[in-house]
Structure 1
Amino acid sequence: MRQKQAKEKTLKQLVDNGDERIEVFEARKNAKKRKRKIRKRVFVVLILLVVGIVGFLISPLAGISTITVSGNQYLSAAQIRELAGITEGSNFYFNPGFIIANRVEGSPIVNHATVTQNFGNRVEIVVEEFKPLFWYSDKDGQKHIVITDQDGEKLLCTTDSTDASQENSESQNNAESQTTTNTESVPNKKDCLTEEEKTNRIVQDIVVENEFNTNGIPLATNLTEQQIVDLSQAMSFVPESTREMISEINGTPTELDPNLLTLYMNDRNIVELEINKVAKSLRNYKSIVDKMNGQRIKIKFLDKIALTSQI
């Protein structure tokens, strides 16, 4: 009897263990099925997501809506858009801002470009152009523009500080129609260019299309190639506010002075000086004109003085 009960108990345990194994097997089988279903669903979702993104990127919804250009004075907005390589409708996302900026900076007249991409697929391009010094036409009729990155506000100082009082007193014997102005002064050191600034300044002579906008840029005529080089360097030290007052720069050489220039100003005044005096003397132009009470005058800059006479 006891043996029979033991056999039944053992048989029951075997059956229970078998059921447990079956349940574990079924559970594992079901888990694998669930994982496969989840993978399929994730895969389908990813496919749909990729298709949706690609569809959006190639749709008109991803096109640039507006392009605004600012900071330009000599290049037109159309020219800058052409440099940027984009138009309204161009893909907003396939034209990142840094790439657009690099394209615009490919123009020799552009010093720096900043591109901002705003909500609504709007693109803003802000350019900083090099500062033009003057333009001229070469013997082949090509238009050149000389540019710089300097505003000319700092002085090209030397270690010399000469007292001009002696020359000023000697000049008092000029004709009564002339006024003598002392143009020599000792500059403050902080207003002088550092050696690094002298070395790193940019002055370039570039060829531009005949359609290039030269309004407001002085025209230089009757100059030799070397005089153009010398004038380029000298003009880069003239304050931008003064450069903007110059209309024309004419070479008017004489036997005694082959480097003499005559400048016709926008305020109808006339200035005579040598090329090597341009950087220093033209800084005094505004202060001299302000003292003449609106009279039209001719200014002749000598070494440390300026002779003025009415026209």
Structure 2
Amino acid sequence: MEKGKVISIEDRIPKLKKIRKRNTNRRLIFLLSLFFILVGCVLYFLSPLSHVKSVEVEGNRYLSKAQIAKLSNINKNQSIWKVDTAQIAANIKEKPEIKSAEVVPVFPNSIKITVSEHNKMAYLLKGKHFYPILENGEILDGLETGEIPVFAPVLIDFKEGKALNRLLEELVKLPEEIQNLVSEIHYKPTKMDPYHIIMYMNDGFEVSATSETLSEKMVHYPSIANQLDPKVKGIIDLEVGSFFKAYQPPEQEEEKEKEGE
């Protein structure tokens, strides 16, 4: 207000009316928006729009997404907000391969399943079938005919018992990158060592070791193998110390056999 200038009440009323009208319009817009949002929510919850349309699966490695979705036993005729997530998680965890499962609804009509699986440490060869062994020691049903073992070494000549359990205890301790280097593990007990094993590696070397100290000795395998000539294959002995013995050429093997005769 300028000095000496007086604004009459008549001049102020139109401005007050505009302010009040603006505030009233804002409140009306807010209330109408809130009303339509509430109506939309009610319609969404009551309509098939909220029914389960898809199931998303994450974290699986061995089991397929379709297998896990089937294990969940989700009813697609109900709202995602009425799904019993705890029961679905329990259904999935009944599968021995599953370590944990989390189930959450995802707007507008999806269910997200996140699983964690037990690692497959090895495959036990029995007859003509391969039986997966989990990190918790559980042996699963044999693979279907024609299925090939992947992600883990094949165990040969082992039976359920102390020797197998000891080996699994040691395999679990090994870093995954070293586990992936092993192709086959043969049980070859001796009088001196009931836990003696022979390991055939994917890089062509053979390792003579004992399950008693496997995790302690095998962590050094990559550095040992890197010091060897990749063209000269042989046996890396890790039972006591660590030394390498190259395979003998076929001619020398034949000469030895003749001398033995």
- Classify the TM-score, shorter chain: 0.5 to 0.7
> Given that residues 101 and 114 in structure 1 are in contact (C-alpha distance below 8 angstroms), is that contact kept between their aligned partners in structure 2?
yes
- Helix, strand or coil: the match of 1:262? strand
Q: 1:81 aligns with which of 46, 64, 69?
A: 69
Secondary structure of the 1:204 match is coil
Determine helix, strand or coil for the equivalent of 1:112.
strand
Q: Which has the larger radius of gyration?
A: 1
Q: Please report how far the alpha carbon of residue 219 of structure 1 lies from its aligned counterpart in structure 2 after TM superposition.
A: 1.0
Number of the residue aligned with 2:85: 97
Q: Count matched residues.
A: 203
| Offset, 1:137 | 4.0
In the superposition, relative to structure 1, how do residues 73 and 297 fare at CA in structure 2: closer, same or farther (>3 Å)?
A: farther
Aligned position for 2:133 = 146
Q: Deviations over 1:36-62 (max 9, x none)?
A: xxxxxxxxxxxxx9xx77x955x5323
Structure 1 residue 268 displacement after superposition: 2.3
Distance 1:240 1:224 in 2: 24
How many percent identity over aligned positions?
24
Task: Tell me the residue number matched to 2:104.
Answer: 116
The aligned residue for residue 210 of structure 1 is: 143
Mark the runs of 5 or more structure 2 residues left unpaired by the alignment.
1-38, 248-261
Counterparts of 1:131-142 in structure 2 under 5 Å?
131-138=119-126
Which of the residues 143, 148, 164 maps onto 1:228? 164
Which residue of the partner structure matches residue 210 of structure 2?
274
SS across alignment from 1:93: helix
The two structures, once aligned, show a CA RMSD in angstroms of 2.9
Aligned to 1:129: 117
- What's the TM-score, normalizing by structure 2? 0.66
Gap runs ≥5 in structure 1: 1-48, 149-202
Query: Could you tell me how far apart the structure 2 residues matched to 1:91 and 1:286 are?
Result: 54
Match of 2:95 in 1: 107
Q: Does 1:252 align with 2:188?
A: yes
After superposition, give the CA deviation of every residue in 1:250-294 in whole Å (9 maximum; x if it has no partner): 113445544321111222222111221212211111221222364
Considering Cα pairs closer than 8 Å and 6+ residues apart, tell me whether 1 or 2 has the greater RCO: 1
